[in-house]
Amino acid sequence: MKLIVAIVRPDKLNDVLESLYRAEVRGLTVSRVLGHGGETDAVETYRGTTVKLGLQEKVRLEIGVSEPFVDVTVKAILDAANTGEVGDGKIFVVPVEGVYRIRTREKDEAAVTPALV
Amino acid sequence: MKLIVAIVRPDKLNDVLESLYRAEVRGLTVSRVLGHGGETDAVETYRGTTVKLGLQEKVRLEIGVSEPFVDVTVKAILDAANTGEVGDGKIFVVPVEGVYRIRTREKDEAAVTPALV
Amino acid sequence: MKLIVAIVRPDKLNDVLESLYRAEVRGLTVSRVLGHGGETDAVETYRGTTVKLGLQEKVRLEIGVSEPFVDVTVKAILDAANTGEVGDGKIFVVPVEGVYRIRTREKDEAAVTPALV
Amino acid sequence: MTANILFNILAYARLNSVPVAPNFSPELLVVSSLLPAAALLAALQDAAPAAAAAPPPAIVPADTAWMLVSTALVLLMTPGVAFFYGGLVRAKNALNTMMMCMAAFGVCGIVWALIGYSLAFGTGGAFLGDLQFAFLNNVGVDAKGTIPHALFMAYQASFAVVTATLIAGAIVDRMRFGPYLAFIGLWTIFVYAPIAHWVWGGGWLSKLGVLDFAGGTVVHINAGVAAVIAAVVVGKRKDFGRTAMLPHNVPTAMLGAALLYFGWFGFNAGSALAANGSAAGAFATTMLAPMATLCVWMALDAIRTQRATAVGAATAIVVGLVVITPAAGFVSPKSAIIMGALGALPSYYAILWRSRTRLDDSLDVLAGHGVGGMTGALLTGIFAEAAWGGTNGLLYGNPKQLVLQATGVGATIVYSAVVSFVLLKAIALVGKLTADARDQGLGMDITQHGEEAYTHGEGAVLVLADAEAPAVARHAAVATAGGVA
Amino acid sequence: MTANILFNILAYARLNSVPVAPNFSPELLVVSSLLPAAALLAALQDAAPAAAAAPPPAIVPADTAWMLVSTALVLLMTPGVAFFYGGLVRAKNALNTMMMCMAAFGVCGIVWALIGYSLAFGTGGAFLGDLQFAFLNNVGVDAKGTIPHALFMAYQASFAVVTATLIAGAIVDRMRFGPYLAFIGLWTIFVYAPIAHWVWGGGWLSKLGVLDFAGGTVVHINAGVAAVIAAVVVGKRKDFGRTAMLPHNVPTAMLGAALLYFGWFGFNAGSALAANGSAAGAFATTMLAPMATLCVWMALDAIRTQRATAVGAATAIVVGLVVITPAAGFVSPKSAIIMGALGALPSYYAILWRSRTRLDDSLDVLAGHGVGGMTGALLTGIFAEAAWGGTNGLLYGNPKQLVLQATGVGATIVYSAVVSFVLLKAIALVGKLTADARDQGLGMDITQHGEEAYTHGEGAVLVLADAEAPAVARHAAVATAGGVA
Amino acid sequence: MTANILFNILAYARLNSVPVAPNFSPELLVVSSLLPAAALLAALQDAAPAAAAAPPPAIVPADTAWMLVSTALVLLMTPGVAFFYGGLVRAKNALNTMMMCMAAFGVCGIVWALIGYSLAFGTGGAFLGDLQFAFLNNVGVDAKGTIPHALFMAYQASFAVVTATLIAGAIVDRMRFGPYLAFIGLWTIFVYAPIAHWVWGGGWLSKLGVLDFAGGTVVHINAGVAAVIAAVVVGKRKDFGRTAMLPHNVPTAMLGAALLYFGWFGFNAGSALAANGSAAGAFATTMLAPMATLCVWMALDAIRTQRATAVGAATAIVVGLVVITPAAGFVSPKSAIIMGALGALPSYYAILWRSRTRLDDSLDVLAGHGVGGMTGALLTGIFAEAAWGGTNGLLYGNPKQLVLQATGVGATIVYSAVVSFVLLKAIALVGKLTADARDQGLGMDITQHGEEAYTHGEGAVLVLADAEAPAVARHAAVATAGGVA
Ligand SMILES: Nc1ncnc2c1ncn2[C@@H]1O[C@H](COP(=O)(O)OP(=O)(O)O)[C@@H](O)[C@H]1O
Ligand SMILES: Nc1ncnc2c1ncn2[C@@H]1O[C@H](COP(=O)(O)OP(=O)(O)O)[C@@H](O)[C@H]1O
Ligand SMILES: Nc1ncnc2c1ncn2[C@@H]1O[C@H](COP(=O)(O)OP(=O)(O)O)[C@@H](O)[C@H]1O
């Protein structure tokens, strides 16, 4: 059981979702975040004040997957989110000790395999 | 030491907070996220364009707890967030190697036990 | 490889970024969250209704670092984010099993060391 | 000399002719045709005979200019209500709330043009007009008073539309959109039009001598009462009383209040139907009353919670405007300040009280418009002055007026409550009034309108315009990634 | 006595004071506010001598009052468009979209004052005015019609500005700001001014007898056509057809629609250029048509998707206003309702059709203003009534009018399309019209204006006002943490 | 015949009637009382002689119509300022900023009615009025100039309110709400009223011949100076100069600018106090000046940062309006364009300069209104033309006027600075002016008003309306889950 945390470009999100869908990865959670990395910072001006926006808009995906799915998932993201320009983002694979599906109280494997409703 | 990450329905948040409160779990962090799972997607129309919103609004809770609290916490969430309908969400239990309370620089156990001020 | 998750005060963010910058920590991801801890809750009134806001605005940092950087990073945050008042926040150190840089598909160490562009 | 006497008579006649439409008795016609002259009589002593001798009522350009503007201003109040209400609900219901107001332009506006106007302003009897103006027949650019008839009709239409929208505040977040439209449409015909006839169409209340300058009874009490009935019949919101429902965007509500204040000058000062002293007086009182209400309201807030709230301020402005509405052209500016100040109290405490009850009048239409309207109607009976265009009220030695005002209030409450109830029950027979818990949970915007007020578009997948099943959808999107979406 | 008789005659004449009538009676030119819409002046040949015979035209205060207001109202339409469009785009392009409208105040407004006004309203010939008013020379406060010339100029300027902004809707999210400004500036001179001269400046279309009360052809068809050309020449948005681009803030769009509805009363009723029956009629029709359009539009929505959308409602209101614009002062209120209802159909389906094509007319300016304008222009040829101030149309036994209207439409389409195309190509020679994919991705707000519409300021680092390279920046910030920023 | 001649003479005289004048010279009174007669000639052929014979000033319907509208427009400027400022601050202070403006309706409005108006417009002496109109006594619907006195009072009240709100921009994000209200209330009495008397109430500046058509000195310089004083006395914001404080919602600021532009037509053109050539001229100049400022401002922006900003554009419009205010009815449209263009420079650079200083005039009230007002006042002394209603200025051979203008500016600066300072210090004795760092950190909305502008309601727990301790609260919430909240 792993929790895959990926930071990608907002305008790549749909491609990533698409590619995850094709990889049969169904459950995931997305949130809007701000990121700082090697990108050169945007500069903005408001009246007399000039500011440097050190943070760029990014999207964070959090995907809980069972072992066999880890590589598939990572690959799906790497393929879809890549532009080759600085700012593409990162993927982190974090170990998980337990997963629960709230609806059914199912645990672990059962909890992440697509729900049969 | 564990970090419990839970995805629940926005309209269940208050119940979850309530139930965690009763379980004596004080510290937690919440964020608004979008999730995709087994739910059927909402369809929206803007002028000529029809779009399918693959992502539903959810709330993400992140709770750092010491070992003895893990099960209590998970149970509290499972009880409060459950509706039985697809979309109830998931709980992930992630191992943590160290916790610090910024205010006091206390470490680990001490850092998560309710602050006595 | 560790993923450092820190919850800090919004008005301390810039100081934290500054201090991380000086600590040579370049990559990080930030998000706005709501937190509950030992703080006393703010009370608001809308017409006849009085509500207690159990959640305070906080900022969440997520920083993937290689082992040698862990303590540096934690220290940088502890120093910059501390006010001594309840509500300063927490830092969680989570183990990571793998990191990928999407742009280059580099793995682990290479993925988090500042990109040389 | 005689001119002066005539002037006084005319002036007096005029005073009582506002706003009880000045166009029914021939004498009044002459009066109103003179009216613009009324202002000039002082300067032109010998004008009266000349004009008095002139049979056909004339359109007065200056009055027309002012009424053109007034009508536009009142029409702006409907969006005003849309933003005021829209900002006070939760984000997931913002569009539904605004649509409840904007859609009234369509439904109530057309209903009014086709039949409502005629029922309200057709000669008819004491209780209802007739069909002489149905489908806007016989509504031309000939003079109605001193302005073109088509303009008078438009001015009245703007009132009909905004009145209906006020009701929405009581049933936001839960009433299904279709039944809602049916309700306000029918309500305009069966409740608003008749009461408008009573007060402005030469009906029994006007005959009785009830004072209602710009619509305290017709508009506010009427809407306030209908709102409570609707709140009760439609029922509580899913989570009412359990979770806190906070305004999602207070600045938007503030914008609404600002537009209302602005538009209300057309509503009140426009009710003089001319660019004259009466309009000026009504303008001043309309400006001053809410100012006083605002001061008192902030003070009450500060005393109770140590803080003056913005939502409170926005509410106070509206309440002040409601209170002065029936009195606008009948009281002195000084009285307006006092009325505004006094008017804050009943509504302020009504809101506090309401929030402790089980009544889910979600945006306090009762407290704001109902209670505010009653306060205003009664205070009018106290502060009205002949010197300022009204009949003398209690303070000026005519307690009878207060009784008359109470009659007007009572009659409106009873009629509005009964008929509104009947209409809602009738509609309920055809279709469910309330959205089910799940739809309320998802939000009325998505479930009633298939839209969201604020979207980021994350994970939104484009679908062929005529794709049906969501299942199909995603593949459609894939297929059409070419660009033919 | 004689005075009374004369009065009666005049008063009677005034009652029928639809813009056509008064010119038959010379006296009225002196005393009354009934000068007709400029468009009609040229059409009525016998008016000229009559006017010449009469003493210098006088400024009529009432007309001046109304036109002062009308001009302000029309000027409010430009922000109206800014919010309507601004709410419909994505958040990252909101400011750029609004700026495309607000900046027109500067560019088009000044261009108009310097040269445009003269080209449109200078005597000149059948196709173009002259330079008699260039740099506003000879534009004083003397009477032009019954209002001060300076006011007439301001009123026309408000039209020029808002027309240019309409085009923006077709090229939002991608056109570079500089070239855009160049385009609307030149467009105002080379496209808008000439066509305005044809219709209102005594040019050939007005001589021909084409009816366009408030600018259906000059403003809406013209802008709609130019918009399509621009959309084609500038090209599609980076992700057009691939990803869903949703309105980021529908309430803002709703606000825009509300301001447009409000301002449009100045646009249409103001086009009577007087506070008279014609203005009143135009006001009523302008109020009613969108109401009917709204009803029909919501019905079409409900039928197609089971839901009436808010974006749809906002669009419907605008379409209804566009449709009635050329007919406002020429048709009966009843006809206005019918026109509004009919007018919904072409635009509604044009939008559905467009979204299936490769044409990235992003906010459907063609469907809304182009198609709506044509529908209106043609329906005017059908519903116009002499009794309401127009020439009789098809329904009133004059099919010829319909042909005339078609001529006007055709001429406008051809001229606008050709010249707009040429202008864009010319500008393209100087600089790139379209922002590159990366800039579009980052958002036009940041790349074109160096701002964001909504900021939280997280991680924003203060830079010395005159720091140049971002590299320097951060250290500057550190250095200046002392407070001297 | 004679009528025509007389008429032309009058019309001519009318053109030169400037707002300061009409109430002073009897002839002009006749003129203005007569001019409207133009509209009434139709009804009363023999009006002219009669009126010429009539001494008492008469209410002119057309002027009344325009002033009713103007007053409403100016009242809309206060919300305009609220949105302009509100959008430029950070989200956590949005409501507090807007409340600082909206609350002025209450405090300043009432203070004005009770005493301010009388001090400004009561006969009195060269420096201050008297109490003849205190509590609005003697303010009826009789004619003041050519409009009802109550209306004139309302018009002036709208100025008093909006002027006070301008100051807020300098002390947002930190000044405590109570002391702020106390300050603007007292300021209206002790600073605004006297200066208004000097310029418009027949005080020494008007006697001197200083030109200020619509309030460049009284309103803008005055507020701008008071703002700086306030910024200094109240002190810097907690993080000023350390962290970047970005506008949280630029579209809202844009809305504010739009409402200001719109309302300003009532402010400037309304200052003619009549619907005449002067109003028309003022309208045209008010429309044109900001257009020119906008062009220049965008150019300066583009040169400095390669990008024209939206916040800059909104600011430019306001600056242009400020600059033309004192000159509106005194200069030609062409001069207005030049003044607008020139006016951009001082303010633009003042903003750049200010942001490098330690002066935390948070929203640049000094640069916008102070500097802009001075520029305008002086340029008026240069461009004013007798032909356009003013006294000739420098360019027209009367350098003396420039000196007079400078006197007016100087006097206003000194008086406003000194008294504002005293008032603030006095209030400081009673209570702390500035919110402590912690409150500023949490945000003024929560700490001063107990609200947030934008709430999602996550984790918000309902509390019994009268629950006291938060501790109790949660249990209360539990207890009351039944629905009695
Ligand atoms: N060490 C890190 N920890 C967390 N997030 C990171 C880290 N490094 C980069 N990111 C995220 O990835 C985004 C892109 O990273 P960046 O280094 O700029 O590009 P690249 O990965 O192509 O070199 C950043 O904006 C940030 O959100
Ligand atoms: N594998 C996963 N990883 C991360 N989040 C998930 C995962 N599966 C589900 N979620 C979150 O849980 C929510 C509900 O999940 P879903 O599968 O739709 O319902 P259920 O858990 O009842 O089957 C989703 O919207 C998503 O936010
Ligand atoms: N156990 C926890 N798990 C996750 N987040 C926490 C936890 N405890 C505190 N936090 C976060 O830290 C913030 C401050 O914590 P709090 O306990 O109030 O202050 P302190 O750490 O100074 O005692 C909270 O608002 C919350 O966002």
Which C residues, 20 through 39, put their C-beta within 8 Å of a C-beta on chain E?
21, 30, 32
Q: Which of left, alpha, beta for E329 (phi over 0: left; psi -120 to 50: alpha)? A: alpha
Name the nearest CA neighbour of D366 among D192, D87, D167.
Answer: D167
Which D residues, 44 through 73, put their C-beta within 8 Å of a C-beta on chain E?
50, 53-56, 58-62, 64-66, 68-69, 71-72
Chain D residues inside the 8 Å CB shell of A14: 459-461
CB E164 within 8 Å of CB E192: yes
Mean pLDDT for D44-73 is 72
Q: List Cβ neighbours of E282 (8 Å cut-off, separation of 6 or more).
A: E213, E214, E268, E269, E271, E272, E328, E329
| Polymer length of chain B | 117
* pLDDT given at position C39: 75
Q: What's the gap in Å between the CA of F484 and the closest CA on chain B?
A: 18
Rg from Cα positions in chain A: 17
Of D281-285, E9-13, E19-23, E48-52, which one has max mean pLDDT?
D281-285
C-alpha E470: how far from its chain's center? 43
H helix and E strand count, chain B: 3, 8
- The residue written with tokens 């009230």 in the block is F365
Which B residues, 6 through 45, put their C-beta within 8 Å of a C-beta on chain C?
17, 26-31
Question: Above pLDDT 90, what percent of chain C?
Answer: 59
Round the average pLDDT of chain D to a whole number and report it.
Answer: 87
Q: List Cβ neighbours of F404 (8 Å cut-off, separation of 6 or more).
A: F208, F209, F210, F211, F381
- DSSP-derived secondary structure letter, F276: S
Compute the distance between CA of residue E157 and CA of residue E163 in angstroms, rounded to an integer.
Answer: 10
* pLDDT given at position D186: 98
* pLDDT given at position E20: 32
Residue D214, both tokens: 């710009």
Question: Above pLDDT 90, what percent of chain A?
Answer: 59
Q: Is the CB of B55 under 6 A from ligand 2?
A: no
* pLDDT given at position F459: 73
Mean pLDDT for E413-433 is 98
Query: Do the bridges between strand B28-36 and strand C28-36 make them parallel or antiparallel, or are there none, so unpaired?
Result: antiparallel
For a mutational test of ligand 2's pocket, the pick from A16, A28, A70, A107, i.e. the residue with the most ligand atoms closer than 8 A to its C-beta, is A28
- CB burial string D391-426: b at 16+ within 10 A, e below: bbbbbbebeebbebbebbbebbbebbbebbeebbee
* pLDDT given at position C50: 87
Quote the ipTM score.
Answer: 0.90
CB D52 within 8 Å of CB D32: no
Q: Do D452 and E250 touch (CB under 8 A)?
A: yes
Alpha helices by DSSP H, listed for D42-187, are 47-52, 61-88, 94-111, 117-121, 149-168, 177-187
CB F234 within 8 Å of CB F153: no
The shortest CB-CB distance from F455 to any of D73, D247, D295 is to D247
* pLDDT given at position A54: 82
Task: Give the model confidence (pLDDT) of A74-113 as tens digits.
Answer: 999 999 999 998 999 999 999 999 999 999 998 877 777 6
- Answer whether residue D262 shows pLDDT above 60: yes
Mean pLDDT for F22-26 is 34
Starting from the CA of residue B89, give the closest ligand: 2
Question: B57 and chain F: CB distance < 8 Å anywhere?
Answer: no
Confidence of residue D36 (pLDDT cuts 50, 70, 90): very low
* pLDDT given at position D203: 96
Question: E472 and chain A: CB distance < 8 Å anywhere?
Answer: no
Task: Give the model confidence (pLDDT) of F186-235 as tens digits.
Answer: 999 999 999 999 999 999 999 999 999 999 999 999 999 999 999 999 99
Q: Is the CB of A5 under 6 A from ligand 1?
A: no
For E484, which residue in chain A has the nearest alpha carbon? Answer: A49
Starting from the CA of residue C38, give the closest ligand: 3
- Answer whether residue D133 shows pLDDT above 60: yes
* pLDDT given at position F376: 98
- Answer whether residue E431 shows pLDDT above 70: yes
Q: What is the pTM of this model?
A: 0.90
Residue D24, both tokens: 């029914």
Residue located nearest, by CA, to atom 11 of ligand 2 = B89
Residue D320, both tokens: 């002040």
- Answer whether residue F303 shows pLDDT above 50: yes
Least-confidence region, from A58-67, D141-150, D160-169, E47-56: E47-56
For C32, which residue in chain E has the nearest alpha carbon? Answer: E458
Least-confidence region, from B19-28, E296-305, E457-466, F206-215: E457-466
Task: Give the model confidence (pLDDT) of D1-18 as tens digits.
Answer: 344 433 333 333 333 333
* pLDDT given at position D6: 35
Compute the distance between CA of residue B39 and CA of residue B56 in angstroms, rounded to an integer.
Answer: 8
For a mutational test of ligand 1's pocket, the pick from A4, A5, A7, A61, i.e. the residue with the most ligand atoms closer than 8 A to its C-beta, is A7
Separation of CA A4 and ligand 1 centre (Å): 15
- Answer whether residue E188 shows pLDDT above 70: yes
Task: Give the model confidence (pLDDT) of C22-44 as tens digits.
Answer: 999 989 999 999 999 877 777 88
Mean pLDDT for E354-368 is 95
Task: Give the model confidence (pLDDT) of E7-22 as tens digits.
Answer: 333 333 333 333 333 3
Query: Do the bridges between strand B2-8 and strand B56-65 make them parallel or antiparallel, or are there none, so unpaired?
Result: antiparallel
Residue F161, both tokens: 């309110």
3-state secondary structure of E138: coil
Q: Is the CB of A87 under 6 A from ligand 1?
A: yes
- Answer whether residue D42 shows pLDDT above 70: no
Q: Do F287 and E485 touch (CB under 8 A)?
A: no
Chain E residues inside the 8 Å CB shell of D137: 334
Element (H, E) at E225: helix E222-234
Task: Give the model confidence (pLDDT) of D64-111 as tens digits.
Answer: 999 999 999 999 999 999 999 999 999 999 999 999 999 999 999 999
From the alpha carbon of C3, which atom of ligand 1 is closest?
3
* pLDDT given at position F464: 56
* pLDDT given at position D48: 36
Round the average pLDDT of chain F to a whole number and report it.
Answer: 87
C-alpha E380: how far from its chain's center? 18
Separation of CA C43 and ligand 1 centre (Å): 38
* pLDDT given at position A113: 64
Residue C113, both tokens: 């060391």
Confidence of residue F423 (pLDDT cuts 50, 70, 90): very high
Question: E458 and chain A: CB distance < 8 Å anywhere?
Answer: yes
Q: Do A10 and D459 touch (CB under 8 A)?
A: no
Question: A93 and chain C: CB distance < 8 Å anywhere?
Answer: yes
Confidence of residue B56 (pLDDT cuts 50, 70, 90): confident
Name the nearest CA neighbour of A113 among A102, A105, A103, A101.
Answer: A101
Confidence of residue A23 (pLDDT cuts 50, 70, 90): very high
Question: C107 and chain E: CB distance < 8 Å anywhere?
Answer: no
For E240, which residue in chain B has the nearest alpha carbon? Answer: B49
Compute the distance between CA of residue A65 and CA of residue A63 in angstroms, rounded to an integer.
Answer: 6
Confidence of residue C48 (pLDDT cuts 50, 70, 90): confident
